[in-house]
Amino acid sequence: MHCVCLGVTKRLIEFWIKGKRDIRLTDESREGINNDLKMLRPYVPSEFCRLPRPIDDIEYWKATELRSFVLYSGAIVLKGKLNPELYKHFLLLVFATRILVSPDTCYKYNSKASELLVQFVNSYGFLYGHHYISYNVHSLIHLPFFTLLHGPLDNFSSFRYENYLQYIKKSVKCIKYPLQEVYNRINEKQQLINTNLHLISLSPILYKEIDHQSLPFVAISDKLYQKCIFESTKTTLDVAKEKDHYFLCQDGSLITIQYIIKPKDKPIKLMVKKFLNVSEFCNKPFSSFVVGMFVVNTNDLCNLYSICENDLKFKCFLIKLSNSKAIALSLCHEIL
């Protein structure tokens, strides 16, 4: 949160907006980036708490907005608008961060992320000035080591602690013994969680039952639903919303989910279509497939087929660029 997002990413955007002339964006490029960020809004999945804002408002951006920029939107909106050398340099940070934030890659490609971050820090001084290599920039090279110790970046990020401050603040009702009051409320909450732990179901929660419409693959006893939430990670699947029905499967296929079916006394099944034409978003510093960045042809889909919820791996942030072309970025947490 403080090193990558509020530290390095925010400083880079400030350089591009009001830095030296040779690294500053032109007015036309800056306006293009602002427009592209606004155009992303309809595609932002429900798991994101804030929608993209123009980079002109960088002083008011929250840490979550900076996280979304470095992990998802930045590589897309900056392409073709930022100086090519600066863009390649920024991709080093994007690829390394996406590797370290995902439980699927943080161990397997840890050494690769370390190489990228060392390269990023070494090039930072030449591109932006050696006197701008701050403590945050230097700290990047240590992130892979701590990821090996503690797991994906989100395991030891400050985001969860910042969010918990809201609960602590609401716990204080009296100014006389605030610490004791906070301790008692946390203790009560923990006891309640432990008491009800056996009642928590990991099955998806289903919403908005819809008509069968005489679909050939639906039995009379089956029920169709518009929306479900995977309880373990609070991931939303909504077949009626463009932003919430694209997923990456365990076998690496990208799919769009068309129907949620709940057979009687059985787990849910999903009727899906797979994207047949999938290519790399870029191949430098290495294949974007590794970090879950894809280009897909939205018109080239297979016929409907059935999968179960255990076949899903990551939800995807799919951004349509035209009638047939879209960019898909896997969200950086597993569903189950």
Regarding whether 210 and 190 lie in a shared domain, the answer is no
Query: How far does CA 235 lie from the centroid of its chain?
Result: 11
Other beta carbons within 10 Å of 306: 12
Judged by phi (left if over 0) then psi (alpha if -120 to 50, else beta), residue 292 lies in left
Do the Cβ atoms of 270 and 290 come closer than 8 Å?
no
pLDDT tens track, the chain, 336 positions: 999 999 999 999 999 999 999 999 999 999 999 999 999 999 999 999 899 999 999 999 999 999 999 999 999 999 999 999 999 999 999 999 999 999 989 999 999 999 999 999 999 999 999 999 999 999 999 999 999 999 999 999 888 888 788 888 888 888 888 898 889 888 888 888 776 655 455 678 899 888 876 777 888 888 899 999 987 788 999 999 999 999 999 999 999 999 999 988 888 999 999 999 999 999 989 999 999 999 999 999 999 999 998 999 999 999 998 888 999 999 876 655
Regarding whether 106 and 224 lie in a shared domain, the answer is no
Regarding whether 61 and 137 lie in a shared domain, the answer is yes
Give the integer Cα–Cα distance in Å for 85 and 16. 13
Give the integer Cα–Cα distance in Å for 26 and 46. 33
Question: Please, is 10 exposed, middle or buried when counting C-beta atoms within 10 Å of its C-beta (0-12, 13-18, 19+)?
Answer: buried
Regarding whether 181 and 293 lie in a shared domain, the answer is no
Identify the domain containing residue 319 by its residue range.
Answer: 205-334
Regarding whether 304 and 193 lie in a shared domain, the answer is no
Overall domain count for the chain: 3
Is 1 domain-assigned?
A: no
Give the integer Cα–Cα distance in Å for 95 and 117. 9
Other beta carbons within 10 Å of 174: 8
Regarding whether 297 and 227 lie in a shared domain, the answer is yes
Spatial CA neighbour of 148 closest among 109, 185, 196? 109
Regarding whether 252 and 220 lie in a shared domain, the answer is yes
The H or E element that residue 294 is part of is strand 293-297
Regarding whether 142 and 167 lie in a shared domain, the answer is no
Nearest-10 Cα torsion for 28, 48, 159, 115:
-60
User: Quick one: three-class SS letters along 79-101?
Assistant: CCCCCHHHHHHHHHHHHHHHHHH
Regarding whether 146 and 51 lie in a shared domain, the answer is yes
Is 2 domain-assigned?
A: no
Regarding whether 309 and 216 lie in a shared domain, the answer is yes
Six-digit token pair at 203? 């099955």
